[in-house]
Chain A
Amino acid sequence: MGSVLQSRLRPLLWIVGVLFLVFVGLQFVRPKLTNPPVTADLQTPAEVKQILRNSCYNCHSNETKLPWFDQVVPAYWLVTADVKEARKHLNFSEIGKLPAAQQKGFLFEAVNMIQMGAMPLPAYRRVHPDAVVTPDQLTVLRNYLTTPPDPSNAAEVGAKAVTDAAATDVQYGKWVQASQTALEVKPEWNGVPFDPDYKNWKAISSTDRFDNHTMREILGNDVAVKAIADGHINPWPDGAAFAKVAWQQAAPDEKGVVKTGAFIQVELMVKDSAKYASSEGWGWGRWRGTDLKPYGKDAQFQNECMSCHEPVAKNDHVYTMPFSGQTAGGQ
């Protein structure tokens, strides 16, 4: 009886032994992860810094400290790849070299990622529960970003507004003269064509982006508008398309009214689950300036679109909560 069990167990022990040796051997396959010098660390109040250090710095800085369980392969491979990717996108140890507005932009994005549950990464949060940003900590970050800027640079801001107003007038003057002439617009680098018809689409929302002083109109084509009326917006049907048109916010007039300033860009999202299967089912495009120049240097530009829309992946990658009532009869 005993020897039968032994003979059955033996191969199993062999397998376990071999697997253990493979496991030990793999520990020596270690991609290099170094901590380069901190060159331009983020400058913020101590309580803000403390939260970022605790929840973000392990991946988004040059001060990565890995606990022992992250040192073990395969966790180590994952963490190393994540840290490298994270530093490429946002590195708090080097962010200080960017203009102040751009630094703030990154912090707004960071707060968005946190409150949407996208950061720290869900898998990372499970293994590092201490890194979770608590609701109180989130409030500290939000308050920091919504505190009005130092009034001592108001003169500078005022001077900039005057320059912007003149540039806006010139841009408008040229456009209103020539708006009847169709522009020749190149497709995006990923092949998504520009659709000049976007300006005939229906408004489905608008946004006042006080974080970067822009304002937007979000427009939907007939397929999108029908999907809204039918309540079929997750997933959106093939053929649905959105345009997000962005302008600078002009300086407030004497009544405190902010009008549309210079045109910045129009962005398209075109749904085709088969054609655009490799980019979440959407064709992404951004055309900048009144000459509508395709954004980016190559097709890689769309990774920017997709990573920004990742927090709303469960909402078919669409941020906009559309209002309804665009079809005949309305509400």
Chain B
Amino acid sequence: MRSLGVCLLGAVVALAGCSEETNPRVVTRLNTDAALVGELPSNPLQGKVITSWIDRKDATMSTMFGNDVAWKYARSNSDSKYPAGAVLSVVTWGQQEDPRWFGGSIPQRPKAVEFVTVTGPGVAAYQRYEGSPLKKVASVEGVDPNDRASYLLAQRAAVMP
């Protein structure tokens, strides 16, 4: 009975020639704003997700990626003594309203990309890229990683069972 009703209504709609345009929020597209454009030593998006955070004051969101060495270590150790060869990379994006979900924010333009490369026990290099296109703005190497590198190395992995 209901299907008959649906058929009848369908026929009416078809006759009336009504067709809804695609809502602009639904039009298929990539989030091109968030692409990492610039001369980076490696591509963080090829890494695996270790964790993420949101900075309410700066209205930014960051994702920390790791190469295989870093990722494996972070998932089974809660200290920050990453082995040599571990590379952490952090992408920090500005935020924009998710056009497809009111109540959510998604990445906008990248604000910074950071790399922490561990070369030995307690020895790490830190590099930071900013701007559009992304350009190197800081580079620190040596024993006793700088504050920011220590901070990033100390972030624990998000639980991903």
Whether both chains belong to one complex is answered with yes
Q: Inside 8 A of A314's CB, which chain B residues have their CB? A: 22-23, 26, 28
A215 B54 Cβ-Cβ under 8 A: yes
Most chain B CB neighbours (cut-off 10 Å) among A74, A292, A329: A74
Given contacts A183-B161, A262-B159, A292-B161, contact A210 B105 (CB under 8 A): yes
A74 touches B161 (CB 8 A): no
A209 touching B160 by the CB < 8 A rule? no
Min CB gap A102→B, angstroms? 14
- Chain A stretch 192-231: residues in CB contact (< 8 A) with chain B: 199-200, 202-203, 205-212, 215, 217, 219, 228, 231
Given contacts A208-B104, A210-B104, A217-B49, contact A234 B28 (CB under 8 A): yes
- The yes or no answer to B111 lying at the interface (CB within 8 A) is no
The secondary structure that dominates the B interface is loop
Which chain B residues (82-127) contact chain A, with CB distance < 8 Å?
Answer: 95, 98-107
Whether B35 lies near A325 (C-beta < 8 A) is yes
Chain A residues with CB below 8 A from B160, complex form: 199, 245, 263, 266
Q: Footprint of A on B, CB under 8 Å? A: 1-2, 4-6, 8-9, 13, 16, 18, 20, 22-23, 25-32, 34-37, 40, 43, 45-46, 48-49, 51-58, 61, 63, 65, 75-78, 95, 98-107, 155-161
Contact (Cβ within 8 A) B52 A172: no
Known contacts A233-B28, A322-B31; is-contact A206 B61 (Cβ 8 Å): yes
A-B contact sample (11 more), CB < 8 A, given A179-B161, A323-B35: A74-B5, A74-B8, A111-B102, A176-B156, A202-B45, A206-B61, A211-B104, A234-B28, A263-B161, A324-B35, A326-B43
Interface of A is mostly: mixed
Is there a chain B Cβ closer than 8 Å to A117's Cβ? yes
Please give the number of chain A residues whose Cβ is less than 8 angstroms from any Cβ of chain B in the complex. Answer: 78
> Residues of A contacting B1 with CB < 8 Å?
29, 77
Task: Pick from A258, A263, A311: contact of B56, CB below 8 A.
Answer: A258
